[in-house]
Structure 1
Amino acid sequence: MDAPVHHNTYDYDGDERNSSTLDSDITLDYGSDFAKPFLHIFAGKPMCDPSKVHLATNNFKATVKDTEHNSFGDHGFLKDNVTVFQKKGWHLGAGNANTLSYYPELNSLIRAFFDKFLKAAPVHPMNLSSDIVTIETTKE
């Protein structure tokens, strides 16, 4: 989810974002052109350039509005539910969206993807595109 990251990395202190750079000799595979089904999930404010991900057959790219890299882990719940973070206004690198506003759609998307490709169920992840989660795929 919201991977791969680019060569610039960030350390968070509340919402203070300090930039650092990974070794320049690291080559990152953007995870594109997979010959098997794959679901890329990007934050609305991604840590890498989603346009670098080129979709192969049965690959999907979903973007979740108003999220950041840390939205998909504990940070999303913590920023919305821990009083000290709320009082300080810290988003913890998890964006402005309330976690409960996108988790049901994100869960439905992930489930539909696995139902389609692991259970051969007659569902299609593209049917779940919305104002909150936008989904792209190749033309089949």
Structure 2
Amino acid sequence: MLGSRRSSTESDTTGRSGGELRVYPRGRTEEEWRETLTDEEFRVLRRAGTERAFTGEYTDNHDVGVYSCRACGTELFRSEQKFDSHCGWPSFFSPLAGDRIEEIRDTTMGMVRTEVRCAACGSHLGHVFEGEGYDTPTDLRYCINSVSMRFEPA
């Protein structure tokens, strides 16, 4: 996996990893998630969906503050690590702390990618890509769905 962040092998959207059920500190039942999330939030956060490119509320946000998991409130990224990748989704070159996210090998869609989930609740955030040549300190692009986060201005 990339870097030294929490990682597991492969996983599906229900928290199963390598055949074992993962337990998250802030986890809930699927029924509880359905009650607390909108349909779109549930589709992205709990079913690993993706919002359409260039439609998210934070894609062009340049305010100073912290981005947290929309499902559980865990702080994930700071605005200082956000950069304009022009890919259609908010992009960050580093998480707030490596233990805030989980990276999982994703073989859906006929390719191999690295899924990014909230380490506290297991919600899908997006994907991380490396080696794309962006002028950032890490050469990583955390491509995160706006609907997976809430922004708190500083």
TM-score range, shorter chain: under 0.3
Point out the structure with max Rg over C-alpha.
Answer: 1
Relative contact order (alpha carbons < 8 A, sep ≥ 6): 1 or 2 greater? 2
Q: Please report the TM-score for the alignment, with normalisation by the length of structure 2.
A: 0.24
Q: Please report the TM-score for the alignment, with normalisation by the length of structure 1.
A: 0.26
Select the structure that is richer in strand. 2
